[in-house]
Amino acid sequence: MARWLTNPVVVPAALYFGTLLTIVLALVQVVQIPLGTLPEDSLRLTIAPVWHFMHVLGGATFGILGPIQFGRVLVYRYGRLHRVMGRVFVAAGAMISLSSLSLLWHFPETYSVPMNSGRLLFGIGLGLALAIAMHAIRKGDFTRHRNWMIRAYAIGMGATAVTMVFFPIYVITGEPPTGLVADIIFLGSWAACVVFAEGLVRRT
């Protein structure tokens, strides 16, 4: 796996392949929110349009910049660009963290207790991971910085893993999973994404 991870094209391409659907859906909502054209099942989010807009904009930016930031070509050959884009990446991650907590506050009864607990945990975890990563780079600890950025990316894009499971079920059945099944898929998919990232950190 270590040899596979050194390929300058494979890592960004794999990350884009895995997150493409989530990024596209986020970009669509970035346009729908200001135009007021959200579908019926999302109209409840107009109660907190600013936080919803921040969430999808931050998520789209986070997803687009992440694979580029983790590509070794940008890190080694274009260090200054990597640093500038890194600041935007961190700002986008902070937007995801803050907006997710705000949306949880505005819509506490939308999801089950297990889902809300997971959203709270991952929202706080993303903010902490970004803070640790930035503290590490200020100390010149590049390895620790990269490791915590990988963890932050995994948490921030954990919704992708959920979407990859929920979306096919929705397409086939016409309804998203509900009840205990939805809880297991939601928490399990997100946790699997984080565990996978931790495995990458330890291997590299």
> Residue 127's pLDDT is what?
94
* C-alpha angle 50-174-106 in degrees, rounded to nearest 5: 25
CA atoms within a 13 Å half-sphere pointing along the CA-CB vector of 79:
2
pLDDT tens, residue by residue, 131-184: 999 999 999 898 899 899 999 999 988 888 888 888 888 888 887 778 888 889
**Closest to 166 (Cα-Cα) out of 201, 190, 136:** 190
pLDDT tens, residue by residue, 56-114: 889 889 988 888 887 665 666 667 887 888 899 999 999 999 999 988 888 877 778 88
> Residue 88's pLDDT is what?
94
| Residue 9, CA distances (Å) to 18, 26, 72 in order | 14, 24, 9
pLDDT tens, residue by residue, 8-18: 566 677 777 77
pLDDT tens, residue by residue, 20-49: 877 887 888 878 877 777 777 666 667 778
| DSSP assignments along 114-174, one per residue | HHHHHHHHHHHHHHHHHHHHHHHHHTT-HHHHHHHHHHHHHHHTHHHHHHHHHHHHHHHHS
Domain range list for the chain = 2-157
Token pair of 198 as six digits: 């931790």
- Does the structure show a pLDDT above 60 at 2? no
Range 71-95 burial, b when 16+ CB lie within 10 A, else e: beebbeeeeeebeebbeebbebbbb
| Residue 98, CA distances (Å) to 29, 172, 175 in order | 18, 34, 29
CA distance from start to end of the chain:
9
159/23 Cα distance (integer angstroms): 10
Stated pTM of the model: 0.82
What's the farthest any 2 CA atoms get from each other in the chain? 51
> Residue 103's pLDDT is what?
86
Token pair of 35 as six digits: 């135009």
